[in-house]
Structure 1
């Protein structure tokens, strides 16, 4: 027992429940945990075995979770400011263990709060996706998420049956620069590896092409201020993108990521200025691109074999009720 250490900020001498996770002891209120969790309520109703390990007269209850995960879970239950509800921000390293352990230990209110945080970064409408992208880092802990985090999000969504999370989770995983990590994952089921590969081929092929049809269809845009310049410039930009895709060193360009406000600004200029497209054409192209993005969004779940948004949103409504 000399190798055990007391958890910082989670060892209270006046409390009667002693949990051990790895080499760390947590001494907390058993009554408070029992009031929040049916798991801990039932656990404390069992008689103490005569051969139970004890410290300071208290039974040591060993749990299989990591000390780091248990610390975050207990802080979320016991300390109101540690994991506040939306719109407060959080991080993946905080959210993931709280999701897992609030589900495992049946802390329903905490699980619902954690699911709300996860849902906020995995929208089910294109409008909410655009708002999330415009928010940049504020509240979006999935921005620039690593392959491991994207995989973990899918695994948690599967484990907790949060199916509406999956379309955006698979889309983010398609951005990975490390496909070997996905295929080598021992936790991701083969069926999900297959849906990822099939979906990736569709994203990187026909759907990427559809996303940029506005560069050459229609060839002439009504009201164009530079009819001798704009059509050729639009096609030129489209061909430049095609050459970029042919460079295997470049990251895969996905339909929703491929052309944003900064790139629109880069090609917008006064009529007949070399290298620029007139404002009339740009505004029409933006409208066509938004329509293409909306069509893609509506198809996104089916691209990965996940059903329809309507069915997924029905699951979300039942879960969050």
Structure 2
């Protein structure tokens, strides 16, 4: 390829300055982005790049500043996150260091594709902080998750589904299925883009949403339907108040049966019901939540929790 063509390539693409090392001899192109990096470091980190760069280069291959250009069929943003994780040790640290969902997604996809095992495991560790493997972990995700992406539940689901990370699918599917119907059908804005699920996942979410709505009304609110509670100190008052609370809760259109009732809400309940009824309510609510969590693999047509936990342990 002649110098004029090389110059044209360089002019029509953006050099990512933080990943353009003048003393390195390999240029990677991903979409409209160019990266000048060390082929030796890439080869040391990735068996795929090692094999790729071992192939003799054609003299007609495009060059920029005398460096051969390797074209990647990856998104420019994913490539940037991946290369930053390789060449900047502080960019993508292990949990509990904070990160972003697009960073996790980019690093995970390309580390899987190019066989960079230490980065793949690190990305999976970050993912596991948000996609719980137990109900106790689910209750703690707001404080333990290393990334927070409001409205990005579909991006999470697409990521774990595309990589067949079965152990992460229950939590990801649950979060997506609790979305409003129109969001499931039309998609949602996330990280400056619009994410829409494919029809097969839309259908799965809608079917699950209907089942979760039934769980919420019949199982989660079951403690409010009890006509009598052993040891109730106000049998003329508590049943009436439970039904009044049921009437209020039944008007909630949001579907999220696993939502953890806060201590302040239980304090309010304690002010309405006697001690025995309040204790029974908390116990039944806790049991109902656990039963729903235990049923998620069946709801989403997945292997048992035991098998999912084994897969999670193997990945992490």
Residue in 2 that maps onto 1:272: none
Q: Show the 5 A alignment for 1:1-321.
A: 1-133=10-142, 135=143, 139=145, 141-142=147-148, 145-146=150-151, 149-177=152-180, 178-181=183-186, 188=198, 190=200, 192-217=201-226, 219-242=227-250, 244-245=251-252, 250=253, 252-257=254-259, 259-269=261-271, 276-320=272-316
Whole-Å separation in 2 of the counterparts to 1:288 and 1:186: 37
Q: Is the 8 A contact 1:207 1:296 kept in 2?
A: no
Distance in 1 (alpha carbons) for counterparts of 2:33 and 2:204: 40
Confirm or deny: 8 A CA contact 2:29 2:71 kept in the other structure: yes
Aligned residues: 300
Alpha-carbon distance, 1:152 to partner: 2.5
Give the TM-score normalised by structure 2. 0.87
Cα RMSD after superposing both structures:
2.3
Note the C-alpha offset of 1:46.
0.9
Q: Secondary structure at the match of 2:27?
A: strand
**Unaligned stretches of 5+ residues in structure 2:** 1-9, 188-194
Give me the whole-angstrom Cα distance separating, in 1, the residues matched to 2:232 and 2:57: 82
Residue by residue over 1:208-264, the C-alpha shift from the partner in whole angstroms, topping out at 9 and shown as x without a partner, is 3111111122x333343433222211111012222x14xxxx4x2221127443432
Structure-2 separation of matches of 1:42 and 1:130: 44
After TM superposition, give the deviation of residue 82 of structure 1 in Å. 0.6
When residues 122 and 22 of structure 1 are mapped into structure 2, their CA distance, relative to the original with a 3 A threshold, is same
**Whole-Å separation in 2 of the counterparts to 1:10 and 1:2:** 17
The 3-state SS of whatever aligns with 2:35 is strand
2: CA distance, partners of 1:299 / 1:187: 23
Distance 1:236 1:291, change over 3 A: same
TM norm structure 1: 0.85
Q: Secondary structure at the match of 2:11?
A: coil
Shift in alpha-carbon separation, 1:139–1:179, aligned structure 2, 3 A: closer
Deviation at 1:21?
2.0
Of stretches 229-238 and 65-74 in structure 1, the one that deviates more from structure 2 is 65-74
Structure 1 unpaired stretches of 5+: 270-275
CA distance in 1, matches of 2:248, 2:216: 18
